[in-house]
Amino acid sequence: MTLTIDGLPIPATLDAPGGGDFALSAAVSNEVERALWGHDDFRIDVRDRLAMMQPTPDRERVLGIVREDGRIVANARLSVPLRDNLRTAYLQIEVLPSHRRRGVASALLTFMEQQAASRGRSVIMSWSDARADGHDAQEGQALVPPTGAGGFPADDASAVLALHRGFELVQVDRQSVLDLEQLRQDPTGLAAQESGAAAAGSDGYTLLGWTDRCPEDLLGDYALLRQRMSTDPPLGGFVQEEELWDAGRIRREEETSLAGGASSLVCAVRHAATGRLVGHTILERFGARPAVVYQEDTLVLEEHRGHRLGMWLKAVNLRRTLDEWPDARRVYTWNAEENTFMLAVNVSLGFAPSGRTAGWQKILS
C-alpha cells in the first residue's frame, strides 16, 4: 500500500485539467455522507460542488486529497476567509470508512495544518457529525463541551483523532429534521403557531419575502443582518469574529449559490416605525435534491426580541415552502444545544432530533 498526500488545484470546469480528479474527490465526500447517515440527503452533485468551491474575493478554498495506489480515499477542504477572521481557517476532513483508524486522517490533518499556517492562520475550526441513535447515552460515553450543553460520542473516530491532535470540543449542535409530508397532511399546528406569533408581532412589524435575490432597496439592511448573524448565535468556545458583509458580498453569495444549483426562500421582518429590516430567516435547497431543504440563518436583532418574531418568520417561511416547493419532503436544521430558545421554537414547529455535530477548535503553535 502506497499513500500519497497532495493538494488538488480546484479546476474552473470539470473539463479542465484536474476535473476528473475533482469528480473522484467529490464522489468520496458523497460516499462518506451516505455511510454516516444511510441516505443521500447530504449528497452534493459534483458540478454544484465545483461551483461552490470557486475562489471569491471573500474566501479561498484549498482541497487536499490522499491517494492509495492512485485511488483517492480521503479529502480535506480548507475554507480561508479573506476579508475578516484573518487568523482563522475552517477545515473539513472526510475519509472512506475502509481507511479509518489507519493514520490517513492524521496525515491529512498535518498537511492541511501546514496549508493553514502557510496562509498565516493560527486558529482551525472543524466539525464532525454523528447520528442521534443514543449509543453514547451510557455514563462516561459522551464528551461534553465547556458549555455543558449536549454531548458527542467519545468513541467516534473523529473525536479520537481531534483530541489526539490537540483540538478542543467547544460546542455541540443538535441536528433536527421536520417531516413536511406530515405538515401537509395536518397543517393546523403550523397555522396555530403562525397566527399566534402574528398576533404578538404584527403590532409594529410586517413581514416580506423574496426568492434567491434580495431586492436592491433592502441590500444594506440585509447585509447588516447577515453580519450580525456571524456572531449573534451562541458560539460556545469558538473565537469567531464578526464577518464583514456589504451589498457586494450579498450579491456574490447569491451568484455562488445559484451557480451551485441552490435556490433560497428568504423571509424578513420590517420594523414599521423605522422601515428597517430587523430579522430574517433563510431556507435553501438544491435542484439536484428537490426533496431536501436546509434551514439556514434565523436572526432577530436583540433590541426587537420578545415579540415572537422568530417564530413568525419561521412559520411563514415554512408555509411558503409548502406552497412554492411542493416536491420538498424534509427540512434539516442545526442549533447549538445551549440555544434553548431556538430549539424550543423548532420543537414547537415539529422538528425532531436526527443527529449531533461536534464543534472542534485548535490553536496552532
> What does the pLDDT look like over 176-229, one tens digit per residue?
999 999 999 999 999 999 999 999 888 899 999 999 999 999 999 999 999 999
Quick one: 10 and 93 in the same domain?
yes
Residue 136 has pLDDT above 90, yes or no: no
Distance, CA of 168 to CA of 150 (rounded, Å): 15
CATH number of the structural domain spanning residue 60: 3.40.630.30
Pick from 219, 218, 162, 195: nearest CA to 312: 195
- What average pLDDT does range 286-312 have in this prediction? 97
Quick one: 327 and 242 in the same domain?
yes
pLDDT at site 134:
52
Quick one: 167 and 86 in the same domain?
yes
Domain C-terminal end among 143, 174, 205: 174
Residue 13 has pLDDT above 70, yes or no: yes
Quick one: 58 and 196 in the same domain?
no
- 311 part of a folded domain: yes
Quick one: 127 and 215 in the same domain?
no
Domain C-terminal end among 155, 174, 193: 174
Domain C-terminal end among 174, 209, 244: 174
Quick one: 35 and 164 in the same domain?
yes
For 82-131, the DSSP string reads SSS-TTEEEEEEEE-GGGTTSSHHHHHHHHHHHHHHHTT--EEEEEEEEE
pLDDT at site 295:
98
Quick one: 190 and 161 in the same domain?
no
Question: Mean pLDDT in the chain?
Answer: 96
pLDDT in tens, 214-255: 999 999 999 999 999 999 999 999 999 999 999 999 999 999
Pick from 322, 321, 314, 301: nearest CA to 344: 314
Q: Model's pTM, two decimal places?
A: 0.95
Residue 139 has pLDDT above 80, yes or no: no
Q: How many domains does the chain have?
A: 2
Q: Binning pLDDT at 50, 70 and 90, where does residue 14 land?
A: very high
Strand bridging mode 123-131 / 142-143: unpaired
- 317 part of a folded domain: yes
Residues 6+ apart with CB under 8 A from 283: 264, 265, 266, 293, 294, 295, 296, 317, 318, 320, 321, 331
Residue 350 has pLDDT above 80, yes or no: yes
Please report which helix (H) or strand (E) contains residue 316, including its range: helix 309-324
Q: Binning pLDDT at 50, 70 and 90, where does residue 101 land?
A: confident
- What average pLDDT does range 8-27 have in this prediction? 97
Q: Which residue range is the domain that position 82 belongs to?
A: 3-174
Quick one: 266 and 248 in the same domain?
yes
Q: Binning pLDDT at 50, 70 and 90, where does residue 351 land?
A: very high
- 362 part of a folded domain: no
pLDDT in tens, 62-79: 999 999 998 999 999 999
pLDDT at site 47:
97
- 228 part of a folded domain: yes
Quick one: 130 and 72 in the same domain?
yes
Percentage with pLDDT > 90 across the chain:
94
Q: Binning pLDDT at 50, 70 and 90, where does residue 140 land?
A: low
Q: Count CB neighbours of 353 within 10 A.
A: 14
Quick one: 30 and 161 in the same domain?
yes
- 256 part of a folded domain: yes
- 13 part of a folded domain: yes
Residues 6+ apart with CB under 8 A from 340: none
Percentage with pLDDT > 70 across the chain:
98
Q: Binning pLDDT at 50, 70 and 90, where does residue 137 land?
A: very low
pLDDT at site 220:
98
Quick one: 34 and 147 in the same domain?
yes
